[in-house]
Structure 1
Amino acid sequence: MTDIILEARDLHRRFVTGGGLLQRATTIHAVGGVSLRIRRGETFAIVGESGCGKSTLARLLLRLIEPSSGSVHYDGRDLTALPPRDMRALRAQMQFIFQDPFSSLNPRMTVDRIVGEPLRLHLGLSGAALRARVAGLLTRVGLRPEHADRYPHEFSGGQRQRICIARALASGPKLLVGDEPVSALDVSVQAQIVNLLEDLKADLGLTLVVIAHDLAVIRHMADRVAVMYLGEIVEMAATEDLFTAPRHPYTRALLRAIPIPAPGGRMSGPAPGGRMADAGGAEPAGAVLGGDIPSPAAPPPGCRFHTRCAHATALCATTPPPLAEVTPGTQVACHHWAALPPAADAALRVPARSPAAEARFALYRAASERSRTTTHRETAP
């Protein structure tokens, strides 16, 4: 058995919009040439600004949408070449958790039918065996068996996301892909769901692919991180390496945007101005990324980040940098990564467990311990 469970090879996805009688068609370059390998049993995170192609890439990895070119391989099998019947059978091993737990649940179906549907389709269960398996799944994610007779609107946001997780687990998957699975939830509930996913990963031997905007969540749970910009991966590294020694200018900008707790209980964000280097030659904490991400309908030539990068040269404007391994386990797509000034300590001081983050994630840990002697982790309405 290979150590690689999922691999993308030169993955592209283009969307064509418009093209009516009096309208010119527009091509959106959502994902451009992404290649990555996800190891069995790890948590792999994908981060980047809104509109950079993270969600599109996540759907391509499970073939929820078809690539324009390139391929995706799961356990050595080319998903893009599988006929529909074989792909349907393989979906039991690969499941998706959507961002909005309410819109991803059928409001006309009870929880019993929602969670039981994969059990009927993939495992052929029915009757008492089906009901028993549904009850076990609900208990596993912190709900009660009697919740099976209720409808999605009768639950809180966190409970609905637990239902989505139970549905994803029903077919016994090896791989879970979560498209910002906690972004629509309250902060305290986010910590509960994040730690539930971690518990499930440890107990069931799952591989997780997580898309998130909250870099504190990523540092808490991910083993490796890929940073996307305008449809391309610009840096990929082990989590601690990326947070403590970021090499791409865009990665540094993302980390500088994280608010840092300041004395007096206030959060200090990046200072205005956006200077990229101070008198000592280091990038200061106040250096921020200016401008908006370019349109994916007309991506810049050369390095796609060069229009917002203070270190760009003529080479960057004409020649796309390859995603190359610069140190063992770290890949960077930048012509000048080795010549960048050192980042000031204050700019990247993002503790692995800051007091605020520790408090957030401790909430569920306490509930998890109590759940060993109770039947649920969150009180139902």
Structure 2
Amino acid sequence: MSDRGAETMVEAVGLTRHFKAKKPSLFARAPLVRAVENVSFKVRRGETFAIVGESGCGKSTLSRLLLRLIEPTAGTIRFEDRDITALPAEEMRRLRRRMQMIFQDPYASLNPRMSVGELIGEPLSVHGIANGKEKAARVAELLAKVGLLPDHANRYPHEFSGGQRQRIGIARALACGPSLLIGDEPVSALDVSIRAQVINLLEDLKAEFGLTIILVAHDLAVIRHTSDRVAVMYLGEIVELADAATLFSRPLHPYTRMLMAAIPVPDPRARSAEPITEGDLPSPTDPPPGCLFHPRCPHARERCRQEHPSLRDSASGHAVACHFAEEIAAGQSAGLALPPESQNRRRRIALFAAAQAAGGAAPSQ
């Protein structure tokens, strides 16, 4: 969405959520899990806003905070220019007609004891929107909108495939006529061919109903062609935020570049030479000092180990939390030489690509 002056639908300011983890021993203090830490962003009306990152980075927690399915430790949430951070439970229940979630697992998110008609019709009854024949007609209409048949209302979730179940979940989310949909990795549990169908369905519904969509995903390939803007999360924080076209054409943060380098590409000659960092995501109970990404970053310097970078606007229009983002992206700094193992990896990729182009065997390593 190119209009920077568009109306803001959702705004998070300093949003934070900490959990107490299980005590390691009887007399030890329970460690604090920093699931989301001081996150701020705006979502414009009518856009698709993606939140991406590795498993465990806090993106699903963030999506639930926006709906107040879990309560924030600190910060504020605004929806349609209304502060909903401390909204009473009854008012929040009424407001949820306008903000709904599509859950990740289509098998666990549907009550197996309820028919499809009951599952989709329940929100209509709870919010007093429709009952009786009117509700049945609305259920049939919603099933048609998501590509299912009216007589599917009499069946149960176990009679459907994963893709069909997710369509049922989408129909249920649309029942109350929301203006905001939050998809918590809605296609990650589906086959590749079915993912495209569900993503296309969401795009069609967005256009038809004028929806705003927040899409949570760990797969950048899923959101590349569907999102207007993308926020990249790492260890509970947003480390890069930009419109999708800019982010994919010139990523600035080393973590974003790492995620893109990990996207599978069938042609070795087209693969990124960016080093894929090793190591696991640090524990959110014991985050590293300085830049959270520095233990895994091939470009880390002494400043990165000591000073935590704040999210700042760059010259290219990104918001990025990296001391040396522009230098790394441009490859202009003498201090950005890759470690020997990364240089060797680049050399192996280049040799392999050359051998394939010549029709020969890959060189020995």
Query: TM-score scaled by structure 1?
Result: 0.83
Deviations 1:276-319 (A, max 9, x none): xxxxxxxx615211111111010011110111112222221121
Equivalent positions of 1:153-302 (< 5 A) are 153-262=158-267, 285=273, 287-302=275-290
3-state secondary structure, aligned to 2:50: strand
Deviations 1:142-182 (A, max 9, x none): 00110001110011111100000000000000000001000
Structure 2 match to 1:326: 314
Of residues 63-72 and 306-315 in structure 1, the stretch that sits farther from structure 2 once superposed is 306-315
3-state secondary structure, aligned to 2:148: coil
Of residues 333-342 and 201-210 in structure 1, the stretch that sits farther from structure 2 once superposed is 333-342
Output the CA distance in 2 between the equivalents of 1:338 and 1:28: 31
Output the CA distance in 1 between the equivalents of 2:129 and 2:204: 27
Which residue identity lines up with residue 164 of structure 1 in the other structure?
A: G
Match of 1:314 among 287, 302, 305: 302
Structure 2 match to 1:3: 7
Which residue identity lines up with residue 324 of structure 1 in the other structure?
A: R
Output the CA distance in 2 between the equivalents of 1:114 and 1:259: 37
* 8 Å Cα contact 1:97-1:178 kept in structure 2: yes
> Are 2:265 and 1:304 equivalent residues in the alignment?
no
Q: Alpha-carbon deviation of 1:327?
A: 3.0
Of residues 68-77 and 19-28 in structure 1, the stretch that sits farther from structure 2 once superposed is 19-28
> Are 2:118 and 1:113 equivalent residues in the alignment?
yes
Output the CA distance in 2 between the equivalents of 1:181 and 1:74: 22
Distance 1:234 1:286, change over 3 A: closer
* 8 Å Cα contact 1:316-1:335 kept in structure 2: yes
* 8 Å Cα contact 1:18-1:24 kept in structure 2: no
Output the CA distance in 2 between the equivalents of 1:77 and 1:208: 18
* 8 Å Cα contact 1:96-1:177 kept in structure 2: yes
Deviations 1:79-110 (A, max 9, x none): 11200111000000000000001100000001
* 8 Å Cα contact 1:249-1:309 kept in structure 2: yes
Structure 2 match to 1:340: 328
* 8 Å Cα contact 2:250-2:329 kept in structure 1: no
Structure 1 match to 2:17: 13
Structure 2 match to 1:79: 84
Q: Alpha-carbon deviation of 1:125?
A: 1.2
Output the CA distance in 1 between the equivalents of 2:317 and 2:138: 41
> Are 2:94 and 1:89 equivalent residues in the alignment?
yes
Output the CA distance in 2 between the equivalents of 1:209 and 1:56: 13
Which residue identity lines up with residue 76 of structure 1 in the other structure?
A: D
Deviations 1:341-367 (A, max 9, x none): 5369xx9xxxxxxxxxxxxxxxxxxxx
Deviations 1:27-69 (A, max 9, x none): 1111111001000000000111111111111111111100111
Which residue identity lines up with residue 307 of structure 1 in the other structure?
A: P
RMSD: 1.9
3-state secondary structure, aligned to 2:85: helix
Output the CA distance in 2 between the equivalents of 1:343 and 1:251: 16
3-state secondary structure, aligned to 1:36: strand
Structure 1 match to 2:69: 64
> Are 2:103 and 1:98 equivalent residues in the alignment?
yes
Which residue identity lines up with residue 81 of structure 1 in the other structure?
A: A
3-state secondary structure, aligned to 1:92: helix
3-state secondary structure, aligned to 1:200: helix
Structure 1 match to 2:342: none
Structure 1 match to 2:353: none
* 8 Å Cα contact 1:259-1:269 kept in structure 2: no
Structure 1 match to 2:349: none
Q: Alpha-carbon deviation of 1:198?
A: 0.2
Structure 2 match to 1:373: none
Output the CA distance in 1 between the equivalents of 2:329 and 2:100: 42
Q: List, as ranges, runs of 4+ consecutive aligned residues in structure 1 with deviation greater than 6 Å.
A: 267-270
Output the CA distance in 1 between the equivalents of 2:108 and 2:184: 13
Corresponding residue pairs, total: 328
Structure 2 match to 1:280: none
Of residues 96-105 and 286-295 in structure 1, the stretch that sits farther from structure 2 once superposed is 286-295
Which residue identity lines up with residue 135 of structure 1 in the other structure?
A: A
Q: Alpha-carbon deviation of 1:339?
A: 1.9
3-state secondary structure, aligned to 2:225: helix
* Percent identical residues: 59
Output the CA distance in 2 between the equivalents of 1:215 and 1:94: 25
